[in-house]
Amino acid sequence: MHLFSALEKRVPFLAAGLLALRSKAVQRRVSSMMSSSHPVAAVCQVTSTPDKEANFTACKRLVEQAKENGASMVFLPEGFDYIGSSREETLQLSESLDGDIITRYTHLARKLDVWLSLGGFHERGHEWKSDQRIYNSHIIIDGQGQIASVYRKGHLFDVELTGKGVSLKESSFTIPGPRLVPPVQTPIGKVGLGVCYDLRFPELSSALQRHGAEILTYPSAFTVATGSAHWEVLLRARAIETQCYVLAAAQVGAHHSKRMSYGHASAVDPWGLVIGDCGGTDVGIAMVQIDLQGLRDIRRDMPVQQHRREKGYYCSLD
């Protein structure tokens, strides 16, 4: 895609021909996926704003496109519902799980018969009327439109990078989730749930892998500063150490005057290879095949988990 873009800019009269070649390449790739026995996942990249209706329209279009191209499960990023421009706006726009936004996504999943990973959703807390705080919730909806699992983000992004202009304190309005949730059996494999900043904590991914996860997912809205430095490295590290697929839907571009996201919604295979990347500028989808037999072969040939020592060994320094 980068080669196409460069040529289009330098030789404008080739643009039409290159577009046709690109279209044929995409068609061949989609045709190959649809004829394969491996399930297909769609990892989406969006640019959410405070406009919830526009965000739903954009995400719905991507979900429909993914389904048309053979996806069994579609992954949307953190803040798929909206990204507010202030603490007050973020809280005011929040909803409960039985509110309009999640209801619309359950109807969409049922209509298309596709599983959805929605993370994170701005979910009003259980004591909303008294404390006006929310959860950052990752929701899995099955192909019948039922909520299969809800994970509430446990690690909150409280970071002040003065030299890079990054200042976010998620804990000022967000409640940390109380626990991990078991991996969910889906049409593409057993999916373990995280959200964004959770990516930095290998204990979480290891725990999910021990409980059967074959795929880890981290829907995110990484800042440009942290994304350019750490995003791909962290995704590949989590994949390599757990021998899982890692699917990370992402936000990209300017959400409003105060916030931008890094993009590069990605998929990494259990060997640590990046097999999908949406780039750092545009809304889009990465379509990836999930080869569970290949995952099992990697775990068989390099049985890392069998080589782990007993828990006491790792606590011996304590």
Q: How confident is the model at residue 1 (pLDDT cuts 50, 70, 90)?
A: very low
- CA dihedral 283→167→199→171, nearest 10 degrees, is -110
Helix (H, G, I), strand (E, B) or coil at 285: strand
| Whether residue 244 is found in the same domain as residue 149 | yes
Evaluate whether residue 243 is within a structural domain: yes
On the question of pLDDT at 4 being above 50, the answer is no
Evaluate whether residue 54 is within a structural domain: yes
| Whether residue 177 is found in the same domain as residue 50 | yes
Domain residues for 114?
Answer: 36-311
Give the DSSP letter of residue 94: -
Per-residue model confidence (pLDDT) at position 9: 45
Evaluate whether residue 317 is within a structural domain: no
Q: What is the pLDDT of residues 150-209, one digit of tens each?
A: 999 999 998 877 776 667 789 989 999 999 999 999 999 999 999 999 999 999 999 999
- Per the DSSP assignment, residues forming a β-bridge with 134 are 124, 174
| Whether residue 19 is found in the same domain as residue 43 | no
Evaluate whether residue 44 is within a structural domain: yes
pTM for the model stands at 0.88
Catalytic residues: 78, 153, 196
Tell me the two tokens of residue 287: 């379509």
Pairing of β 115-124 and β 158-161: unpaired
Evaluate whether residue 296 is within a structural domain: yes
| Whether residue 85 is found in the same domain as residue 175 | yes
| Whether residue 13 is found in the same domain as residue 69 | no
| Whether residue 21 is found in the same domain as residue 126 | no
CATH number at residue 306: 3.60.110.10
Per-residue model confidence (pLDDT) at position 27: 54
For residues 220 and 234, give the distance between their C-alpha atoms in angstroms, rounded to a whole number.
Answer: 12
Q: What is the pLDDT of residues 65-101, one digit of tens each?
A: 999 999 999 999 999 999 999 999 999 999 999 999 9
Evaluate whether residue 316 is within a structural domain: no
Q: What is the mean pLDDT of residues 293-316?
A: 95
| Whether residue 54 is found in the same domain as residue 169 | yes
For residues 296 and 96, give the distance between their C-alpha atoms in angstroms, rounded to a whole number.
Answer: 39
| Whether residue 269 is found in the same domain as residue 304 | yes
Q: How confident is the model at residue 16 (pLDDT cuts 50, 70, 90)?
A: low
The per-residue DSSP string of 146-169 comes to -EEEEEE--S--EEEEGGGTEEEE
Q: What is the pLDDT of residues 197-219, one digit of tens each?
A: 999 999 999 999 999 999 999 99
Q: What is the pLDDT of residues 306-315, one digit of tens each?
A: 999 998 999 9
What is the 3-state secondary structure of 228-252? HHHHHHHHHHHHHHHCCEEEECEEE
Residues 6+ apart with CB under 8 A from 244: 192, 205, 209, 213, 214, 215, 216, 238, 270, 295
- The total number of structural domains that make up the chain: 2
| Whether residue 17 is found in the same domain as residue 64 | no
| Whether residue 176 is found in the same domain as residue 28 | no
Placement of tokens 């209801």 in the chain: 103
Evaluate whether residue 233 is within a structural domain: yes
| Whether residue 180 is found in the same domain as residue 240 | yes
Q: What is the mean pLDDT of residues 273-280?
A: 98
Evaluate whether residue 318 is within a structural domain: no
| Whether residue 107 is found in the same domain as residue 225 | yes
